[in-house]
Amino acid sequence: MKFAINLALAATIALAGTSMALAQEFTKGVVNKIDAKAQKVTIKHEDLKNLDMPAMTMVFRVKDAAMLEKLKEGQNIEFVAERVDGKLTVTEIK
């Protein structure tokens, strides 16, 4: 019985560690333009390590249009960008 409990505990710890390793890293950027109608934002950003992209200025879709309501042109942000259905998409902003 103790073996089964220890095995379950070890599996839980391993899964917790995996989910933490999958947590996305935030990237710093500056909002250049907001296009609410198209649900897009132009960001001048640092290297996007998870996408293997150098620093540049580019247009991203947003996961949720409500994200745009919190942004202003010229604002410094930290964000996560991912490929969603083949399109570069901002999935988190802080």
Q: Is the pLDDT of residue 21 over 90?
A: no
pLDDT of residue 15: 52
Topology of the domain comprising 25-93: OB fold (Dihydrolipoamide Acetyltransferase, E2P) (2.40.50)
Q: Which residues contact 63 (CB under 8 A, 6 or more apart)?
A: 84, 89, 90, 91, 92
Up-side HSE of residue 86: CA atoms within 13 Å toward CB? 0
Which of 83, 88, 94, 89 is CA-nearest to residue 29? Answer: 94
pLDDT of residue 19: 42
Q: Is the pLDDT of residue 16 over 70?
A: no
